[in-house]
Structure 1
Amino acid sequence: MKILCLHGYGTGPDILRIQLSGLMRDADPSWEFHFLSGEVECPPAPGIGSTFPPPYYCWARSFDAGEIDAAHALIEEAIDEHGPFDGVLGFSQGAAISISFLLEHKTAYPDEPLPFRFAIFYSPTIPCAADEAYCQSVFGSLSSADQQRLRSGQDEKIAQLPDPVRSVTESFVKVIKGTRSITREPVSFFLDRPVDLVPCVLHPDVVPTRITLPSVHLRGKEDMPGLDDCGLLVESLCDPRTLKSIKHSFGHDIPRSGPEIKQILSAVEWVVAQSQLSIH
């Protein structure tokens, strides 16, 4: 059993290895965890800079289509060089990148099997599109006045935008505000740009594709503002028939000991067993 693991924003593979130490300690010893690193340097996540030396990495800093596409390319390279993998596991931005990768892969190649057989998403942030055609379909018909409303980053002006731009942008802004302690950037950093460089959320109201892989969704009861809604959005992008959702007592982190790690391991064993029942 081989699992590709993607870290969160402002950390790196070594930090994710520590975050997953409880799961790795108790998991079947035959399971192999392969850790992939983002290539975009960024500030450390809260509490990381005082404990771990730089550099710190993320998968994307501005979240535009070009950056997301480059992150997807890293996953493709890892599959080619170190795969095949049975599953993919992502934490925070790593979860968001794996979600967008799976959705867009299935959209682009609907008749081909996905390169993973199961997925584990810890505390996902918002998944954004690498597909410029999708971004164009959402933002491309905006009037000049609506483009100014979008670029303002102001809630009352975003509320005046036509759907689906309004719902897509409101979902994005809620998460960006909640996670500013991680990105260190205001809403204007992401929205006050040419429209083709504005991040475009893969929103269930707009994306018809669903991730059909068995999936486990884990998030903390004390997670950052906006991430609970984000977790529900991500769940709605997945097949509810092969989905297990768990809330733990932590914040934006991964439990490493106690009864909750047993619950998480049980969920991971469930998703592995589900993946072996059929080919997706």
Structure 2
Amino acid sequence: MKIVLALHGIGSSAEIVKDQLVPLTRELSPRYEFVYLDGAVERERGPGEFDDRYVGFYEFSFANTPLGIASYYLGPFYSYTTGYMTAEIREALDNLDQFVREHGPFHGVFSFSQGASMAVSYLLDCQAHESGTKLPFEFAVLFSSVSAFSPSKTCYGSIVEHLLGRDFRAIQAFPEAEFNELTKSEQIFAENLAPMFTGAKKMGSFTESINFFKQRNQEAVPRVLHHSLTQDRITIPTVYVNGKGDPPAMSAQSRLVCGLCDQSLARVHHHSGGHGVPTELFDVKTLIKMIDRASIEGADRHVLHQDPTGIPQR
């Protein structure tokens, strides 16, 4: 039997993601057993339906919103992180790592939205620190992932330092600005970072962290990962799932996360729905085949990196 960790989206819970995954878990049992993890941070109910007001970046706002998880869920609701600064991402990944060590080993991870972001960040962080040892999962399934983040203050350090050290018009106007005056790498970074905050602005939600460029606050700049700025790739088989009805901005984030995966080990499926786990029979049957194949490939690769403890050393 395969033991799989399941991670929920923001303002959600283990109870909710368990229900979201039922179309798949029903078909996968009893070959797979699922363990569900609540985030460490209690917060308000998360969005449940989406429209253009949110520009698809609701995951990065801490505002109360008029949309939410279905009303029959009474809470509590959770996030895996308090925010997206490097220190906050480090704390979130350490919490996840502690759970994996205490309740694992796990064969795989199923993750939705913010949970998928955390899974990708965690895997890349483990690879950076545990070269040559067994990773915490043999395969990963990523549903509608939002952007992934690095916990390292040195990630894109020269880019951030240069942006903070210059009086660019675009930086002073951040997040709503044109970035044509920047170098190519700086432009990619800024354009990838800005939508996180333009979404918050459209909802009337501002936080002090939006002013990190004006305040020259290097530690407050989220290190949102872009595949063209880093050579690191997830080295386990992945199944990447995205809804054709997802808002364009969220789909853009999801594509960037897919780019952080080794493409020779990635399987991609676009279902007919939106920001959610697919429920149509065709989608479910297709994903079951992809998941089983990724699981088999992951197990084969695991043999090559066998660690007698079953848990990577850090």
| Common fold by TM > 0.5 | yes
1:41 to 2:42 alignment: yes
- Given candidates 56, 66, 78, the residue that maps to 2:87 is 66
- Offset from partner CA, 1:66-109 (integer Å, 9 cap, x none): 11111111221111111001111210011011101111211222
Q: How many residues align?
A: 278
User: Which aligned pairs between 1:92-131 and structure 2 lie closer than 5 A?
Assistant: 92-131=113-152
Counterpart contact for 1:152–1:191, Cα < 8 Å: no
Amino acid of the structure 2 residue aligned with 1:243: A
The more displaced of 78-87 and 129-138 is 129-138
SS in 1 for 2:254: helix
Deviation at 1:136, TM superposition (A): 2.8
Q: Matched residues, percent identical?
A: 28
After superposition, the Cα gap between the structure-2 partners of 1:49 and 1:158, relative to the gap in structure 1 and judged at 3 Å, is: farther
Q: In the aligned structure 2, how far is the partner of 1:226 from the partner of 1:7?
A: 20
Shift of 1:207: 1.6
Larger Rg, first or second structure (1 or 2) = 2
Do the aligned residues in 1 keep the contact of 2:197 with 2:210 (CA within 8 Å)? no
TM-score (norm 2): 0.80
Kindly report which structure 2 residues correspond to 1:123-272, keeping only aligned pairs within 5 A, or say none. Answer: 123-146=144-167, 149-150=170-171, 152-174=173-195, 177=198, 186=205, 190-193=209-212, 194-272=217-295
* 1:157 Cα deviation from its structure 2 partner: 4.4
Residues 177, 187 of structure 1: 8 Å contact kept: no
Change beyond 3 A, Cα 1:100–1:151:
farther
Structure-1 separation of matches of 2:238 and 2:121? 14
Please give the secondary structure, in 1, of the residue aligned with 2:162. Answer: coil
Closer, same or farther in 2 for the Cα pair 1:13/1:163, shift >3 Å?
A: same
Deviation at 1:277, TM superposition (A): 2.5
Q: Which moved more, 1:89-98 or 1:21-30?
A: 21-30
RMSD: 2.4
Task: In structure 2, list runs of 5 or more residues that go unmatched.
Answer: 48-67, 306-314
Q: What is the CA–CA distance in structure 2 between the aligned matches of 1:176 and 1:219, rounded to whole Å?
A: 23
Q: Once structures 1 and 2 are overlaid, which stretch shifts more, 198-207 or 257-266? A: 257-266
Q: Which runs of 5+ in 1 are unaligned?
A: none
Deviates more, 1:224-233 or 1:86-95: 224-233
What are the equivalent positions in structure 2 for 1:54-93 lying under 5 Å apart? 54-93=75-114
Change in 2 beyond 3 A, CA 1:54/1:93 = same
TM-score, length of structure 1 as denominator length: 0.90
**Does the aligned pair in 1 maintain the 2:138–2:298 contact within 8 Å?**
yes
Q: CA deviation at 1:151?
A: 5.7
SS for the counterpart of 1:3 is: strand
Runs (4 or more) in structure 1 with deviation over 4 Å come to 175-178, 183-190
Q: State the Cα distance separating 1:50 from its structure 2 match.
A: 2.2
| 1:77 maps to amino acid | Q
- Residues 6, 189 of structure 1: alpha-carbon distance in 2 compared, 3 angstrom cutoff: farther
